[in-house]
Structure 1
Amino acid sequence: MSRTTLTAQRGSPAPPASPGEPHGLPSLGPEGTALLRLLDDTFESWGVDAGAHAMTMPPLLPAADLARLDYYENFPHQAVLAAPLDLDRREQEKFCDDSGCFPCSALQPAALGLPSASCYAVYLDHEGRRLTEDTLVTVVGWCFRKEDRYEGLRRQLGFRMREIVAIGGREHAEEHLCRFTERITAFAAALDLPLRKEAACDPFFDKGGSKAVLQRLSPVKHEFLYEDLAIASVNTHRNFFGDRCSISLADTGGPAFTSCVAFGLERWLSALTRRHGDWAAATEAVRTAVARLASAGPVT
């Protein structure tokens, strides 16, 4: 009998669906919240140990800024926007229908975007800077993606993403991904969580240009999947965000290179409870893995 079968038999029954789950907005009880915090503290510590500055970013961004980064061209299927009510029209028509939905006519223009990844805010925060040294930043934020369907903690409308972002020279951005690929691989092994690494595609370049050819030859994104679920990724954007956000290198004057490592926290919860059976077993697996890696010494 496999370990997976044994742990599933030991595990408690799956918790009942929360009221928001059909809409992609599930809630977490005390055990799930504690495990999410433990995971996030672990991933944040990896960034801080590597020299990253911990920062807090806003939950919404100007839609115009996201448009400058080609977000609505590249990811229109995921985009979610926010708009205030148009109070001037309140006396002229009913604001919402019986389903609780507001028509477009009841809203002011949607000038705010809900980002689908935490790193967009980091690049916008560094806009116009001239970097004298390589930089690392770590953030955790609420992210939002419109999906065709939602499924528990696997696919959500709103979820949390921890990222560790590198901004600087080409070598710095590339070494960042190599270092954290090793950390993710070692952590998964210590967790007895079988992950496979696969090339994916994020369209950060003109699909018809020479850079698109380069992307096909050298993928900009690799995902770490448990079964069919991507729970982490390592991403290189080359100098795309450095160029769009006018982040330059003091020594060359050219645009900075960027890369990021991302962890979908709720997706890790889904993978760990599926692998180990229940919240308690998953939490113990994480604590044991963290202790085992700490005793092995720092990752260089």
Structure 2
Amino acid sequence: MTPTGTLTRPQPAPRTETPRESSGLTALGPEGTALLRLLDDTFEGWGTAAGAHAMTMPPLLPAADLARLDYYTNFPHQAVVAANLDLSRAADPTTLCCDTGCFPGEALQPASLGLPSASCYGVYLDHQGRAVAAETLVTVVGWCFRKEERYEGLRRQLGFRMREIVALGSREHADRHLADFTEKITAFAEALDLPLRREAACDPFYDKGSSKAVLQRLVPVKHEFLYEDLAIASVNTHRNFFGDRCGITVDGTGEPAATSCVAFGLERWLSALTRRHGDWEAARRAVLRARSAV
């Protein structure tokens, strides 16, 4: 008990990170895997109940397409790319990484594939050049990759899974999507006894000096839900940015589609739930109770 008589929640015993974890590469055992699947099933169910079509996006995307979406301009510090070995550079390229653990740049072909930092990029590229219904919803889960200054267990990883529910169509539909899921996330967190803090954030979808960038500072396009200092979910509006860049139009009007998305970092939810409830089993029970209450 604390001095005020409030029951303190157990916290997992601290442990030293393994070399893989400190490199952003964390494995999940059976209990963690089961909880991750339970959470993802919950969030996907929210999407399909709202009318979302479940889709699967490729794990890599053409770097040229991501560049067209200003990804490497806006997020160069997070970018991760993939390159093939250049077999013409050495008789046995497999020996090149023995001393350093890395293949040198001269042993690689130009990197033409990007590893996306969010699941929704694949959705916009898949819909490019198409007309969509005014109230289109898509849900996807995918591996995402971000270069971080440091990695920390399940909190910050090089590769992690993100469930997203994406709205495409009219501006009213995109705005309503975020309002509905803001209420859903808030109610779920309350049922989980997981105190979340909602804060405005910023994604640089527009040139810093443009009128749209000024509008973004006045009317934030992104809100994050934080447990302690960690963002575990977000709601994001892009207005017609991706509609313009990908040539996605609204069926019947021909106007560029507005888009918005709701994102859940699954491993980050695992970290928050086990910190709050003490262990995998207690966290699993909390999720099952909350699912039935929301």
* Shift in Å, 1:249: 1.4
Q: In the aligned structure 1, how far is the partner of 2:46 from the partner of 2:271?
A: 21
Q: Kindly tell me: are residues 12 and 75 of structure 1, through their superposed partners in 2, closer, same or farther at Cα, counting changes over 3 Å?
A: closer
> What residue in structure 2 maps to residue 254 of structure 1?
255
SS at match of 1:179: helix
SS at match of 1:232: strand
> What residue in structure 2 maps to residue 228 of structure 1?
229
Q: In the aligned structure 1, how far is the partner of 2:273 from the partner of 2:34?
A: 13
Aligned amino acid, residue 242 of structure 1: G
* Shift in Å, 1:251: 2.6
SS at match of 1:149: coil
* Shift in Å, 1:14: 5.5
* Shift in Å, 1:4: 8.9
CA contact (8 A) 1:233 1:263 kept: yes
CA contact (8 A) 1:188 1:194 kept: yes
SS at match of 1:7: coil
Unaligned runs of 5+ in 2: none
Q: TM-score, normalised by structure 2?
A: 0.95
Counterparts of residues 188-203 of structure 1 (less than 5 Å): 188-203=189-204
Deviates more, 1:16-25 or 1:63-72: 16-25
Q: In the aligned structure 2, how far is the partner of 1:208 from the partner of 1:252?
A: 30
> What residue in structure 2 maps to residue 184 of structure 1?
185
* Shift in Å, 1:132: 3.6
Q: In the aligned structure 2, how far is the partner of 1:92 from the partner of 1:157?
A: 29
CA contact (8 A) 1:18 1:27 kept: no
Q: Kindly tell me: are residues 30 and 247 of structure 1, through their superposed partners in 2, closer, same or farther at Cα, counting changes over 3 Å?
A: same
Q: In the aligned structure 2, how far is the partner of 1:45 from the partner of 1:89?
A: 50
Q: In the aligned structure 1, how far is the partner of 2:185 from the partner of 2:132?
A: 28
> What residue in structure 2 maps to residue 53 of structure 1?
53
* Shift in Å, 1:145: 0.2
Q: In the aligned structure 1, how far is the partner of 2:16 from the partner of 2:48?
A: 36
Q: Kindly tell me: are residues 15 and 280 of structure 1, through their superposed partners in 2, closer, same or farther at Cα, counting changes over 3 Å?
A: farther
Aligned amino acid, residue 32 of structure 1: G
> What residue in structure 1 maps to residue 210 of structure 2?
209
SS at match of 2:9: helix
SS at match of 2:288: helix
Deviates more, 1:28-37 or 1:89-98: 89-98
* Shift in Å, 1:99: 2.1
* Shift in Å, 1:17: 4.0
CA contact (8 A) 1:89 1:106 kept: yes
* Shift in Å, 1:6: 3.7
Unaligned runs of 5+ in 1: 294-300
CA contact (8 A) 1:167 1:173 kept: yes
Aligned amino acid, residue 66 of structure 1: L
Q: In the aligned structure 2, how far is the partner of 1:12 from the partner of 1:230?
A: 20
- State the percentage of identical aligned residues: 75
Q: In the aligned structure 2, how far is the partner of 1:174 from the partner of 1:142?
A: 26
CA contact (8 A) 1:17 1:26 kept: no
Alpha-carbon RMSD: 1.7
Q: Kindly tell me: are residues 214 and 89 of structure 1, through their superposed partners in 2, closer, same or farther at Cα, counting changes over 3 Å?
A: same
* Residue-pair matches, total: 291
> What residue in structure 2 maps to residue 81 of structure 1?
81
- Residue by residue, what CA displacement relative to the aligned partner does 1:46-103 show, whole Å, maximum 9, x if unpaired? 0000000000110000000000000000000000000000001122986225121011
> What residue in structure 2 maps to residue 275 of structure 1?
276
> What residue in structure 2 maps to residue 298 of structure 1?
none
Aligned amino acid, residue 247 of structure 1: I
Q: TM-score, normalised by structure 1?
A: 0.93
CA contact (8 A) 1:4 1:275 kept: no
